[in-house]
Chains A and B, each alone.
Chain A
Amino acid sequence: MNAPGKAVSSEKQASVTLPWTEMAEGGLVPRGGTAASVKTGAWRTGKMPVIDLSRCIHCLRCWIWCPDSAVILDGEKVTGFDYDHCKGCGICEQVCPPKVHAIQMVPEGVEG
């Protein structure tokens, strides 16, 4: 039992394990972008994208259309995929220009 009059500070964190007295008030998530810690790559079934960087023209179509922000860039250049977040939808392969054809969906676990 919390002592009456004790403020529950919003500087506390969002948590699903801490007691209510130690959680940020009102269901607040005090920091942005924390979902990045959730590894939705585990959802991938069957296929995963691989990129042949020697073919890639860095048009960034795969990057802008990836629903999971799972195309890794170094500045303006594609360097690969973030498999922690990639759900294997295959949009990247589809939007890669046909003449370039740098991205292929391959059976899970045979990349590299």
Chain B
Amino acid sequence: MPTLKELARRPNPLTGGHSACAGCGFPQAVRLVLMSIDEPVVVAGATGCMEVTTTTYPNTAWTVPFIHNAFENAAATISGVEAAYQALRRKGKIDREIRFVAFGGDGGTYDIGLQSLSGAVERGHRFLYVCYDNQAYMNTGIQRSSATPFGASTTTSPAGDVVPGKQQRRKDLTAIMAAHGIPYVAQSTIAHWQDLTRKVKRATEVDGPSFINVLAPCRLGWGTDPSQTIRLAELAAETCAWPLFEVDHGQWKVTYVPKNKLAIEEYLKPQERFRHVFEDETGQLLAAIQKDVDEQWQALLARAGLGKDGKA
């Protein structure tokens, strides 16, 4: 596992000068992922904040080869790039090792791009798909996605007088990807750089498709201070709202068990999208969110063969 000092010696895959918001969370995901890979990489990106802010013509922030095709097809696109690589290698036209990475936001991954992703990993292409998950359609103005957590207010699940934000649970995409039986699936955040870089290393080592779901807070969509982006990703893990785990060849492993699991309000309170939760004097909504988080955390522990206290 590389240290930050080692990473600092690597070329920067994504320069400054892109137009992501101040305090955005995806650039750290991109840099941490790509700097963890020793081999040259070719990247595909789905339509979304990352794509529009880093590739505004006539410029590109990418210092590695990058292709954007459409919103829902980053996985299919990279599968074609990888197929070309296999064919050209067989013909002796290319002789070096290259790794393939696709990035998509939660909209392009959980929702409109799910079929393309499922198909590409089922076919066994050797590539890593990274979802930078900011839990809503941020590029189009903070609409709910199936990654939006229960209770969050978005522009298409606004907290109103009758309906208090999104009424459905977040889809557990990481588990869905694990159900494909592909060699490696993991979940991490931009704040846990050691965890993430180790997982990326493992993901690009395995001979086949791999998937990592990376929580990348969005200060605009979450309604948080731009300086708090990394702190929020930490709190997501400390409250177990976003557990860190991996499924390596079918083996579920929780890679971080908080010593003192924090109450969910520690994570929700700084976020404007949950403000209504704290305006509810009955406390019912907060309790419901806590219950949801606890249930999912317990289910994960059970899956990984751990006890309710997170110990073996």
Interface of A toward B, CB cutoff 8 Å? 13-16, 27, 29, 31-40, 43-44, 59-61, 63-65, 67-70, 73, 75-76, 82, 84-91, 93-95, 105
Contacts and interface: CB of A to CB of B under 8 A. Distances in A.
Given A29-B55, A29-B57, A69-B12, A35 B22 contact: no
Counting contact residues on chain B (CB < 8 A from A), the size range is: 35 or more
B16 interface: yes
A44 B226 CA distance: 12
Nearest to B64: A32
Given A40-B16, A60-B4, A69-B12, A94 B231 contact: yes
B57 A40 contact: no
A6 to B, nearest CB: 22
B187 to A, nearest CB: 19
Contacts, number: 135
Interface of B: 4-5, 7-9, 12, 14-28, 31-32, 54-66, 190-191, 193, 219, 225-231
Contacts of B7: 60, 64
A68 B16 contact: yes
A94 B230 contact: yes
B27 A69 contact: yes
A15 B227 contact: no
A36 B31 contact: no
A35 B59 CA distance: 5
B28 A65 contact: yes
A102 to B, nearest CB: 15
Contact of A88 (B15, B22, B54, B60): B22
16 contacts: A13-B58, A29-B55, A29-B57, A29-B60, A32-B60, A33-B63, A35-B60, A36-B17, A39-B17, A60-B7, A61-B4, A64-B4, A67-B24, A68-B22, A69-B16, A89-B227
